[in-house]
Structure 1
Amino acid sequence: MIIHTVDQNYLGIFNCNFRLNGELLFTGYITLNVLTDTFNKPLIHLFRESSNSSEVKLICRNSSPYRRAEWTMRRSTTSVTLTSSDKVRSDRFSSPPFNGYDFPLHVSPVTFEDSGTFECFYDRQRFGMFKLTTIRVSESGGPPGGQPVVLRCEVSEVSGDPVTLAWMRMEGSRGLLVKQEVLTNSHPNRMLSVTLPSLRSDQLHWQCVVFTEGMLRATASLTLTLPTQTTMSSMTGMGTETVVRGVITMAATLGILGLLGFYCRRPNGTQTQRQKEEPAQLEETNV
């Protein structure tokens, strides 16, 4: 289970029940402690799917009051200010008015280009640092004509710990592993692809899952669609109509060529009459 954006409301004990055919085998417990401030804490690495419905909320909090706060985003050597207590934006990057203690950053929707390092500063002191790695899934190919379908799962960055990508074919809430691969920073690409020779009704629901250090970090879902019966019928009708038109055009062309050939071979009546008259005139002159 992944809990995104943990705050004080999630403080407590969680339990996990293991059942076989409805019978409870055993129960595991884990206690979740939530820190009250983010000052001087190590880098937190987060993974998020890039989609229209994805979001991430980064927490920046301190128990003592401060006058000014800001969020910055850094990619390689470039850093930009996203929000601040002086200027709160209301687009994809937003923060509530600063109350001196809390200044969270909300990113929605998350795009693939949002990968980078986010830092929170209170009066120019860093109070939080987060590294965001984004994931995107896509498909290409497929109908019409029963073409192969290629599924792609890509991560924005692989640095430090290896990242494991896996494609799961979903059957309800159960996932069947189809393909997985471990990516490192020396890997030639940051993508895992699966090719389906043709699309079937039991291959419509997929999920790309991301693991680091043996722990589930994120999932990205992909739903495929089969062409409707109406679409297939229209495609078939268009194909039949094209064939019929081709046959008619060919028949008409052959008919015209046949008429032209007959016309060229048929003797002309005037020319035949002249041929009959001219020898008579020549014979009469010779005498």
Structure 2
Amino acid sequence: MRRGRRTTAGAAAAAGCWLAVLATASCAMPPAPPLSPRALPTATAVPSPSPKPPSPSASASASASASASPEPPPESGPPPESGPAEPVGEGRATAADRPLLEAVRRGTDAAVPDDAAVIVIHRGPGGTGELAWMPDDRNYCLAVVREARTDTSCKPLPSSWARIGVRLVTAGRPVSARTVFFAVVDGGHGPYGYQGTAAAAPAPGMGPVHDATAVFASGRTLSLLTYERPIAISTPGDQYICSADNAICFPALDAYSGH
């Protein structure tokens, strides 16, 4: 009898436990629904930390990188010397010019270069004429030979000029009651001659225009011109001197003559 009571009591206790579990489960709250998007919390911006100053090693690395970068180009200065000019075409000295070349070498203290670097501008009768040479494109020497007398002038070209393409117009020393003018013009646009407003013929006393071309190793060319006129006589209507293609013209008595 005691054994049966214990079994019944144990069953009753087990049943009570199950009922308690069921009661607890039935009384629990259902899970909450998910939050709507509007209810979701927004992200808060977090300030980024301020950059730290570079360490000495980093500064040294930056300086090394800067020094390794290409250096800026040097400041522009005067152009390098272009080397001596060489004559072109009929400006080259020939065996027939020997008396003219010898007269120049006898009659001047200037250093006359070899014949290959002498530019013959004008060949006149009896060993007269005009020669020139240019040690570079910024300096010139002009030799005028008349009646066994040689007048040589070596000067730099002006650093500025009033007319486009015309580097120099200068009046030389009087030779036999006449003045020999000398002009240096950019480019090889010869031959040059008189052309102007008054007439096709030169003004009274004006001699013909002679020209020769000089070329430098860079490929640059200059035209060298000579022409004569009576001393200290300015004739109204003096013509312009122009190249064959009329690309360059200038008055025979230019504004900076005599310099």
What TM-score does the superposition give when structure 2 sets the normalisation length?
Answer: 0.25
What TM-score does the superposition give when structure 1 sets the normalisation length?
Answer: 0.23
Q: Which has the higher contact order (CA 8 A, sep 6+)?
A: 2
- Choose between structure 1 and 2: higher strand proportion: 1
